Amino acid sequence: MEPLSLTGLLKKAAAEFPSRRALSVSGKFDLTYAQFQLLVDHAASLLIASGIEPGDVVALTFPNTVEFVIMFLAVIRCRATAAPLNPAYTAEEFEFYLADSESKLLFVPAEGIKPAQAAASKLNIPHVSATLRDENSKITLSSDPESNLDSVHQLVNDPNDVSLFLHTSGTTSRPKGVPLTQLNLATSVLNIKYVYKLSESDSTVIVLPLFHVHGLLAGLLSSLISGAAVTLPSAGRFSASTFWTDMIKYNATWYTAVPTIHQIILDRHESKPEPEYPKLRFIRSCSASLAPSILDRLEEAFGAPVLEAYAMTEASHLMASNPLPECGPHKAGSVGWPVGQEIAILNEQGEVQPPNTKGEVCIKGLNVTKGYKNNPEANKSAFLFGWFHTGDVGFFDSDGYLHLVGRIKELINRGGEKISPIEVDAVLLAHPDVAQAVAFGVPDEKYGEEINCAVIPREGVSLDEAEILQYCKKNLATFKIPKKVFITDSVPKTATGKVQRRIVAEHFLSQMSAAKVPKFGA
């Protein structure tokens, strides 16, 4: 039996479904599985001709384009390591990530990414552009190497090859480098395929950036190993105005997104509803907590079950998920059952906690990284008692569903009372005039910490602090009521929609003495 690898799963899907649609660029062209596999192999031969060897790290910074997908898989195919980077980084950020990953080569789109290229030049890293003109062409590189497919066919991918190098978001500390192997990635995409029953009958439109593990693993790669179809937006990024048009045109059966995107889709539906919506098997939400009120609105608006999931980079994305309706009930407020790995709630002594008892969420499985790169202190604290410690606080209920309370470092300790900011968020988001909300802890002389929150009203609605506080008094215990409410029009998030509570807190604390809270980006 051939060892399990992501490359092996992709080749198997191409052999089983050669004439089925694999990848589309909306309104431009479609690629079958057979065409797609040939494009990847050809691109891999160009990489080998460019001097890329097994173990080398190749950085890629693109929008969500077909060139990114092909070059990403080509890097993996030639046993090198792909390091996707956010095109919106500054030159300084690119310099850090390129240096930390020890990249040997940088790929950019034909139009270039100037900050990335400047950083690469400073580090003496060659940068090359990649272009695919149409479905009948092959990838061309600006460096113009010669192709030799025999060099690719002779390579055998090993399950232990490090294929993907990503960084954690760094919301509470310096970003940590996470190496993921062929085996890690293959295990994860099989877990995703299994829990959502993905097959050649499915189709999705990519919503999230592919430089992040959520969009890459859950949206793209899990589909491609299942014989399903994937569509990339023509603009290379999510657009609420074209999302449903693409979903209908390409017969989408599901999509996955973060709560921020779900809220944008809901707002678009309420202000400019589509004449019709596709019949979806399910809608998936992950990467941040989805408020129960948002889940209910999604299900009511689009007539599909919303399945909340739990994931992180170190686990090659998926860890737990609410099941499809035919497999069991989904519970609002939970992130479902463990999928393809062990999850335990441990106390500080490493003892497994019984149901309904809070502790740290810890995991082990073939999808989990073996350790952070060049970071012994992080490894020492994260890998204890034979488990990977996530830093999340949660509990299992009596039905085996996992519930998350918050991050250990984000829990608010008000006079000894541990308060989950996620719980406060959920109450605020249930207010009919609140579009987005985030609670956070701030220093307090009397209690050690107090709760503040930032609230974004719905478009065209006027809200004030007194109204929000009155609502909280009716729906929260007294010690959980925010002491201060900031009404604003946006809060800082990561590129994938995660709220950075620490940065939100720092921003509003710095403005406490101001007469008016300025707008972000103003």
pLDDT at 513 over 70: no
Identify the residue with better confidence: 438 or 495.
Answer: 438
Q: What is the pLDDT of residue 517?
A: 47
pLDDT at 423 over 90: no
| Contacts of the segment 300-306: beta carbons below 8 A, 24+ positions apart | 301/266, 301/269, 301/270, 302/269, 302/277, 303/277, 303/279, 304/254, 304/279, 304/280, 305/330, 306/282, 306/330
Structure confidence by residue, pLDDT tens digits, 193-239 = 999 999 999 999 999 999 999 999 999 999 999 999 999 999 999 99
DSSP string for 302-361 = H-S-EEEEEEEGGGTEEEEEPPPGGG----TT---EE-SSEEEEE-TTSPBPPTT--EEE
Q: What mean pLDDT is predicted for residues 414-421?
A: 84
pLDDT at 515 over 70: no
Between β-strands 103-109 and 57-60, what pairing exists: parallel, antiparallel or unpaired?
A: parallel
Furthest CA-CA distance within the chain: 71
**Alpha-carbon distances, residue 95 vs 57, 90, 107, 109 (angstroms):** 15, 9, 14, 18
Q: What is the pLDDT of residue 509?
A: 85
Q: What is the pLDDT of residue 448?
A: 84
Structure confidence by residue, pLDDT tens digits, 437-479 = 999 999 888 888 899 999 999 988 999 999 999 999 999 989 9
Q: What is the pLDDT of residue 514?
A: 53
Q: Which helix (H) or strand (E) holds 182?
A: helix 182-196
pLDDT at 317 over 80: yes
pLDDT at 169 over 80: no
User: pTM for this structure?
Assistant: 0.87
Q: What is the pLDDT of residue 500?
A: 77
Q: What is the pLDDT of residue 1?
A: 57
pLDDT at 77 over 80: yes
Closest among 138, 125, 130, 140 to 61, alpha carbons compared? 130
Structure confidence by residue, pLDDT tens digits, 56-66 = 999 999 999 99
Structure confidence by residue, pLDDT tens digits, 242-269 = 999 999 999 999 999 998 899 899 999 9
**Domains identified in the chain and CATH numbers:** 6-393 (3.40.50.12780), 412-510 (3.30.300.30)
Q: What is the pLDDT of residue 520?
A: 44
Structure confidence by residue, pLDDT tens digits, 29-46 = 999 999 999 999 999 999
Q: What is the pLDDT of residue 497?
A: 65
Radius of gyration of the chain (CA): 23
Residues near 222 by beta carbon (within 8 Å), at least 6 away in sequence: 189, 192, 193, 196, 198
pLDDT at 67 over 60: yes
Structure confidence by residue, pLDDT tens digits, 269-313 = 999 999 999 999 999 999 888 888 899 999 999 999 999 999 999
Q: What mean pLDDT is predicted for residues 83-109?
A: 95
Structure confidence by residue, pLDDT tens digits, 341-359 = 999 999 999 999 999 999 9
CB 4 within 8 A of CB 159: yes
Confidence class of residue 407 from pLDDT cuts 50, 70 and 90? confident
Q: HEC profile for 226-261?
A: CCCEEEECCCCCCCHHHHHHHHHHCCCCEEEECHHH
Q: What is the pLDDT of residue 522?
A: 35
Q: What mean pLDDT is predicted for residues 150-166?
A: 94
Q: What is the pLDDT of residue 496?
A: 63
Q: What mean pLDDT is predicted for residues 474-490?
A: 92
Average pLDDT of the chain to the nearest whole number: 93
